[in-house]
Amino acid sequence: MKKIITYGTFDLLHYGHINLLQRAKALGDYLIVALSTDEFNSEMKGKVTYFSYEERKRLLEAIRYVDLVIPEENWEQKISDVQEFKVDTFVMGNDWEGKFDFLKPYCEVVYLDRTPEISTTKIKSDLKM
């Protein structure tokens, strides 16, 4: 069984997120999503989410491409997650191109093209109209 992992906040879930999850799942058999906790978002990423961790987790678990949701609590956990879950492929959007190449000794690293016309940042900006 080929295991895939991706990381993110997945706030204001939209079709760009779905596209990423669908393409990530197509690379293997089992998709793990490491979902940024509320604390990690606020303290380390400087982000405030609209939906709580538990709400975002419920949304992700309802998506057929997602097999498991785990908490992302810090930047450093990626190597241990890859090892613990025996991950074959690490997937992120290409806006992170090169940032996770340090994982290449542990697994394949793939950067997927983002859906260009949509993002949570764009949604938040448009709603301020």
Active site residues per annotation: 45, 47
Cα separation, 1 vs 7, whole angstroms: 20
Amino acid letter, 47:
K
Amino acid letter, 15:
Y
The tokens describing 56, both together, are: 């975002």
Q: Among 8, 11, 12, which Cα is nearest to 21's?
A: 8
Q: Among 26, 32, 9, which Cα is nearest to 82's?
A: 32
